[in-house]
Amino acid sequence: MNEKNTLSVRQMFVLFLLFLGVPSLPLLVPEAAHIGKTASWLIPLAGGLLFLPLFFLYGYLVRRMGERGLSEVFCQVFGKPVGMAVNILYLLWGTLLCAFYLRQFGERIITTIFTETSIAVFLVVMLFAVLYTVKLGLKSIARAGTLFFFAIVVVYAICYGALSQSVETKNLTPVSWQDTLPVLGGGVIITAVLCYMVIFLFFSDNLRDRHRFQKGGLIAVGILSAFLVLAVAIPVGLFGHEAVSKMSFPFFAAAKSVSLFGTIERVEAAVVAALTVGDFVIVTLLAFLCLKLTSFVSGAHKPNAYANVFVILVFVLSLAIGSNTLELRRLYTQLILPVNLVMGVGIPILLLLTGKLRKKL
């Protein structure tokens, strides 16, 4: 195992929390408000509960895979031709996600702060940072992720503490049994996002203490569900579900009303910095995934050999996938979320069933 690419379970789930807890906010919060209305704050809890059976499946796969990565297991269970085809599907999926979250980062920056600057400038800067980190190895982003995580927790704790005093309970009630189906429907969307955990199974061969996966994962899912409850409840409680469902960046809008020692701008800047760090983590991890899959499929021994070509491809694709925030949101709900369920739910279940029938797992 390459030392610079090793991870502990704790580091992996810190990255998982950064991966999902920050970049997902601009997309999940308006969608939850649209579907759940006054009961929208219950949707993350429903999503967390729906995800639990799938999480235990992931935990079982990690135990059975041992020191193998998911790419290798696909080929052993499905056979090499089919396994390679499945790996290519995950490579295409990861590339699309990388371009999407890169573009979302750029759209947020030019919408909230640098409104007169070309989006291409920020995309290039982000990709240079990603390229540099990829060449340093997986351990570099894991160590940095721990520091980022604690800093972001402080920023969000300050914001939530200040904003909670202004929340109007009438915007979060009433909640009745008639909200059950909308909440469960919204929970499926949360589950589709939590399915990103399957990405970390490709790095199972990089884990030092994989026996702690299940315990660490349960804690991470619980923390993320609680965080998302607050992330939905605060904006909806402040503005109402109708207004939030139409916002591009509801948490940023809420942060504008936060005053810390009479200085509003610093709080807003900290929120933007937190979101940017989350974007950096998700784009970097997806780059690691795609380069690892490219190396596996091509048989190359050095994944970083493709890094320069990959970032150019992602840059071009990020500019082509939409022209504004509304189109990105439509792409997310109509394409990315359904594909997430296929890649994060359908294929792992098929892997389990096939592995049991062929006695490969």
pLDDT of residue 267: 67
Tell me the C-alpha distance between 9 and 214, whole Å: 9
SS3 7: strand
pLDDT of residue 279: 86
In CATH, what number is assigned to the domain containing residue 178?
1.20.1740.10
Our count of domains for the chain comes to 1
- In this structure, the number of other CB atoms found within 10 A of the CB of residue 312 comes to 11
261: buried, middle or exposed (CB in 10 Å: 19+, 13-18, 0-12)?
exposed
In the numeric block, which tokens belong to residue 217?
């994962």
pLDDT average per 10 residues of sequence, the chain (361 residues): 69 83 72 86 89 91 85 92 95 94 88 81 92 86 82 79 78 83 88 89 83 84 84 84 79 66 59 81 91 88 81 93 82 90 94 90 77
Tell me the C-alpha distance between 72 and 300, whole Å: 14
Tell me the C-alpha distance between 102 and 120, whole Å: 11
In the numeric block, which tokens belong to residue 360?
């490969």
SS3 260: strand
List the alpha helices (DSSP H) in the chain: 9-21, 25-36, 43-65, 70-78, 80-112, 119-136, 138-163, 180-194, 197-201, 213-239, 241-245, 250-255, 264-298, 307-320, 325-331, 337-341, 347-357
């062929």: which residue's tokens? 358
Residues spanned by the domain of 30: 3-357
Contact 99, 314 (CB under 8 A): yes
| Residues contacting residue 49 through CB under 8 Å, at least 6 positions apart | 187
